Chains A and B, each alone.
Chain A
Amino acid sequence: MSPGLGLKLGWTAFRSRGRGEARFLWSSSLALALGLVPLVLVLAIADGMIEGISSRTIETSLSHDQAWPLVSTPKVDPETALKVVPGFRSALREQQGFALAFSAGARLGVSLRGVEARWALDPGVRRFLKADSGSLTFPNARSAWVGRESAVKLRLKVGDTVKLLTTRSVGTLSAPRVTSLTVAAIVSVGYEELDRLWVFVPVETSLTLLDSAENPVFWGLKSDRPLAESAAFLHEVRSALGSDWQVYSWQSTGRSQFLNYQATRFLLLVVMALILLVSAVNISTSMVTLVQQRRQETAILKALGGSTGLIRSQFLVLGLGAGTVGTAVGMAAGVAVALGINGLISGLETVLNGLSALRAWISGQPFTATRLLDPAYYLESLPVKFDVPLLVLVAFGTIALAALASAVPAWRASRQRPLDVLRRA
């Protein structure tokens, strides 16, 4: 038997006339492609968002590692001791606690972060932490950088005074303390969920505001090594610092957060895979219809000596063809949509706001602009990252799914008795 005969016979369905066989296959391909577009999009955006949020969290909040002293006066100073560790960049003191911030008629619970002035010079921090106004320096010990959202709620701008209410233990009592600070900068890392409650002060100032027993100082460690090598770095840091220090990696300090991202990504993938599964069922349904429509051709082929393998292969070729076309179109469309998603959203936002403005003008109501990407929940623009090996896996998986969906109809076609059809004809 000619090896390409199954392909040739299958291909004839695409160029067939009159019974819409090609239409069935094209619509199945299209359904598969439409199922793939959201999958590629969600995958690209989820990966981009996870990477964007994770990078911001690690570089501006968790540090690569954290070193916590276990004794009041450790034998070694981290900055000095860690110079021997390859890739070590910095070890900067930090203190974190809570405070009540208030200004002209507004108040807000904030996350107070005492950092060293050179913390803002770290390349990782500089990459993400931007000053909307002011500059990332502390002109004096009574200066503060306020997160963008906190500044909005507290109605603050650079040069204004913000008061912080903190407590410190005095014996068994907690003594409140109010400190006035001057806003030196309004800052943001581009992800509101992370920075909306941040207020930065020099660590020397935070030491006077927060109780060191309840809010101990730790050292945020940064390395030049890729994050993937953090386990090796951590091991060397632990060896260099000795037993007076407890060292945690970003994976352990942000464990629940990162697990949450992965779980969300997995669930999204499961939902998208279900959509693909429905598309595959669609291919199977089309193949069943096709097998039914081509009963006479199948019977003729068998009567002329066509083997069961040939009959199976022609329908498998059709399913595989529909799957491959659908996958190629879906992947290309998914990548294109992902690459242009921010432009699409921006365009949609413009159209919606134009319509809202028109409606407001007609009704005389005030116009409120709509923001589709609310920075409270998302990064300010949707980041896109393509996990190429995973996308290749998805593509091959989809084609395999399409072939699998055609397998049962193809097998049924090959089991058909030619005489049952030829007698009726």
Chain B
Amino acid sequence: MSDVILEFRQVGRVFTETAEPVTLFQGLDWSLNRGDSVAIMGESGTGKSTLLHLAAALDQPTSGSVWLEGQEISRMGEKALSPLRTRSVGLVFQFHFLLKEFSVLENVLLPSWLAGTPKKAATERALALLERVGLSHRLGHFPGQLSGGERQRAALARALINDPPLLLADEPTGNLDEKNAELVQNLLLELSADAKKTLLLVTHDRSFAARAGYCLHLRGGQLVRP
């Protein structure tokens, strides 16, 4: 198995929907090794989230290619991307994006349903994860009945339910108060380290970034060491 889990080859991303085309990347070459944890920092509008979306195959580059676990995901159709998103990537956004009609347990189980994981094994793993993030007493609650920090912890458990090799987190603590932010940061870093996940983290928080394995700055469409 290759050490590289994620690779950007000559990636360009230009947004043409605006009046003036906006170029975020031009010929970006970058790779992420398996098991690494990296924090991406940079000013607003430099393309940090877009980088993450490209890695999750939610967006496609205007030029170049993105490779995940040896597969060129930037050329894949929706049919092939669905199982890839389910099994290879765990996503945590700034907003929790839990389904409001589903309970906490159901929300955490949702990716396992999409992956077709046997019910018993999935439920055991979901319960263990919810225990780990401190929500075992909230299994039957709905997102509307949880605090912001609890929702984000549930989202973190959901991201890990299918045991994906790559965890992508986009400002996961951006909407939280200091105490809850610290709790979520600790959980994110500990859980990814314990499970030997590759973590790609986008954040504005320097102290949070400093806790990652290494930190990169996105400047002028290129990733550079600070």
Contact = CB atoms under 8 A, between A and B. Distances in A.
A12 interface: yes
B79 A308 contact: yes
Nearest to B59: A419
Contact of A304 (B78, B95, B101, B111): B111
Interface string B85-127: 1110001010101011110000000110111100000000000
Interface of A is mostly: helix
B71 interface: no
Interface residues of A, number: 26
In the complex, which range does the number of interface residues on chain B fall in? Answer: 20 to 34
Contacts of A308: 78-79, 82
Contact of A1 (B87, B95, B116, B158): B116
B165 to A, nearest CB: 14
B53 interface: yes
Contact of B110 (A16, A304, A422): A304
Interface of B is mostly: helix
A422 B85 contact: no
A340 interface: no
Nearest to A414: B78
A390 B135 CA distance: 56
Given A17-B101, A425-B95, A304 B59 contact: no
B93 A5 contact: no
Contacts of B83: 305
A305 B86 contact: yes
B101 A425 contact: no
A178 interface: no
Contacts of B87: 305
Given A2-B116, A307-B82, A425-B95, A12 B111 contact: no
Interface in B37-78: 53, 56, 58-59, 78
Contact of A305 (B53, B100, B114): B114
Nearest to B117: A2
Contacts of B86: 304-305
B84 interface: yes
Nearest to B114: A305
A18 B100 CA distance: 10
Nearest to B116: A1
A116 interface: no
A418 B58 contact: yes
Contacts of A303: 56, 58, 85, 91, 97
B97 A306 contact: no
B188 to A, nearest CB: 18
A404 to B, nearest CB: 23
Given A16-B101, A305-B83, A419-B53, A2 B113 contact: yes
Contacts of B59: 419
Interface in A1-17: 1-2, 5, 8, 12-13, 15-17
A1 B114 contact: yes
A419 B81 CA distance: 14
Interface string B15-54: 0000000000000000000000000000000000000010
The residue among A8, A18, A304 with the most chain B CB atoms within 10 A of its own CB is A304
Contact of A306 (B56, B82, B116): B82
Contacts of B81: 305
A12 B101 CA distance: 6
B58 A422 contact: yes
B69 to A, nearest CB: 15
Q: Which 4 A-B pairs have the closest CB atoms?
A: A305-B86, A305-B85, A12-B101, A307-B82
Given A16-B100, A305-B114, 12 more contacts: A1-B115, A12-B102, A18-B100, A300-B97, A301-B114, A303-B85, A306-B82, A306-B114, A307-B82, A310-B114, A419-B59, A422-B58
